[in-house]
């Protein structure tokens, strides 16, 4: 039995991960800690587990692993505390807003000999898994370019405050695509040019809500990507992840969340999407639980999270300087 704790319900994904833990055999959501006591107690009650207000007591308990779903700027200190306590870690994406913080987290876990995973669940999306298989077996020849999107609804709250988020939609929605392309194409990013802005939520946001990126990968692969918080509140779901791969033998278009049925709900007075396909969050959490049990690195590692952060950090530098910026890989 793997005993898993959740640190903070600041990020909305915490609720999905908690629900996944409750579904999985051989593991238990053992405890919740949150620096917002009211929020933490409410979440613990919802998921029928205990709330521990004292962080030392939380980390001194019989936890085998911890899922960190706090505000982005708090990831590093929380991960370092967990690593020092010998806990396996799954950290919400972006693993950290800055390369220095992400690198420090990877090193802390390496020193403590604990596993560190990054919550990038799109790798567990069945359409993307199938696309990965077809591309890696050569069905579409050599991939020379890709066109990507990751749009979402405005999360508001701390996401709109740079002091807590460290960046806006460009960071929040580029890490998914950067990780997917590295995983599928087995290539690293070389450079990026980026234009971004606060164009949709001027009065309420202190971060960017849209970004347009032009990237290059090893071997000259050209990538365009648009990230945004642009979906209306009435949109059937939070957003999308789409990638069009252009190869020498054909073109493959993937919509990661298109395993759905259109539902016209008169009670809600809106259209909704009912999903019939796989649950990427469940795949991510199940892999983390197995990693805890097997004492191995999760499939999407802390280093993968660091690589995605390197891309977004360079994108923000490019937007600031109005120049294409090389993407440097750290260790």
Residue whose pair of structure tokens reads 């648009």 in the numeric block: 226
Q: What is the mean pLDDT of residues 15-36?
A: 97
At 50 the pLDDT is 97
Cα–Cα nearest to 30, from 55, 54, 66: 66
CA angle 196, 307, 111 (to 5 degrees): 135
Residues 296-321: pLDDT tens digits?
A: 999 999 999 999 999 999 999 999 99
Has residue 205 got a pLDDT over 90? no
At 25 the pLDDT is 93
Q: Return the CATH fold of 2-120+281-300.
A: Rossmann fold (3.40.50)
Give pTM, 2 decimals. Answer: 0.96
At 237 the pLDDT is 80
At 199 the pLDDT is 87
Lowest mean pLDDT among 167-171, 175-179, 225-229, 274-278: 274-278
Query: Does residue 48 contact residue 41 with C-beta atoms inside 8 Å?
Result: no
Tell me the backbone φ, ψ of residue 63, rounded to 5 degrees: -70, 140
At 249 the pLDDT is 98
At 144 the pLDDT is 98
The enclosing H or E element of 66 equals: strand 65-68
Lowest mean pLDDT among 31-35, 169-173, 257-261: 257-261
Has residue 91 got a pLDDT over 80? yes
Has residue 202 got a pLDDT over 80? no
Query: For the domain bounded by 123-278+309-326, which CATH number is listed?
Result: 3.30.360.10
Q: What is the mean pLDDT of residues 88-98?
A: 98
Q: What is the mean pLDDT of residues 46-52?
A: 98
At 329 the pLDDT is 93
% of residues, the chain, pLDDT over 90: 89
Has residue 204 got a pLDDT over 80? no
Residue 1 vs residue 302, higher pLDDT: 302
Q: What is the mean pLDDT of residues 25-47?
A: 97
At 235 the pLDDT is 84
At 7 the pLDDT is 98
User: Model confidence at 326, in pLDDT bands (50, 70, 90)?
Assistant: very high
Mean pLDDT of the chain: 96
**In Å, what is the CA distance from 309 to each residue of 6, 74, 99, 212, 314?**
23, 15, 6, 16, 8
At 270 the pLDDT is 82
Query: In the chain, what are the domain boundaries?
Result: 2-120+281-300, 123-278+309-326
Write down the H helix ranges in 99-253. 99-112, 126-136, 162-165, 169-185
Sign of CA dihedral 232, 234, 236, 238: positive
Has residue 203 got a pLDDT over 80? no
% of residues, the chain, pLDDT over 70: 100
Q: What is the mean pLDDT of residues 87-107?
A: 98
């Amino acid at each position: 039995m793997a005993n898993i704790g959740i640190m903070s319900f600041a990020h909305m994904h915490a609720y999905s991960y908690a629900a996944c833990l409750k579904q999985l055999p051989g593991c238990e959501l053992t405890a919740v800690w949150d620096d917002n006591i009211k929020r933490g107690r409410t979440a613990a009650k919802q998921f029928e587990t205990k709330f521990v207000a004292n962080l030392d007591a939380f980390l001194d308990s019989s936890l085998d692993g911890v899922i960190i779903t706090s505000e982005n700027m708090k990831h590093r200190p929380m991960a370092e505390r967990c690593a020092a306590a010998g806990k396996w870690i799954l950290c919400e994406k972006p693993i950290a807003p800055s390369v220095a913080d992400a690198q420090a987290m990877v090193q802390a876990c390496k020193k403590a000999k604990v596993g560190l995973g990054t919550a990038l669940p799109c790798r567990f999306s069945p359409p993307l898994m199938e696309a990965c298989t077809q591309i890696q077996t050569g069905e579409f020849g050599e991939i020379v370019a890709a066109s990507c999107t990751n749009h979402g609804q405005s999360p508001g709250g701390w996401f709109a405050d740079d002091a807590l988020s460290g960046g806006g939609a460009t960071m929040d929605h580029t890490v998914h695509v950067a990780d997917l392309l590295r995983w599928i194409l087995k290539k690293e990013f070389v450079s990026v040019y980026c234009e971004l802005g606060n164009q949709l939520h001027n009065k309420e946001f202190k971060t960017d809500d849209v970004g347009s990126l032009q990237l290059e990968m090893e071997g000259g692969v050209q990538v365009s990507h648009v990230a945004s918080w642009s979906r209306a509140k009435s949109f059937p779901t939070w957003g999308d992840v789409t990638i069009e791969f252009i190869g020498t033998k054909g073109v493959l278009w993937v919509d990661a969340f298109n395993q759905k049925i259109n539902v016209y709900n008169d009670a809600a007075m809106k259209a909704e999407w009912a999903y019939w396909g796989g649950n990427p969050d469940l795949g991510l959490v199940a892999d983390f639980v197995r990693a805890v049990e097997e004492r191995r690195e999760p499939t999407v590692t802390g280093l993968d999270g660091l690589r995605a952060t390197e891309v977004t950090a360079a994108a923000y530098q490019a937007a600031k300087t109005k120049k294409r910026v090389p993407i440097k890989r750290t260790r």
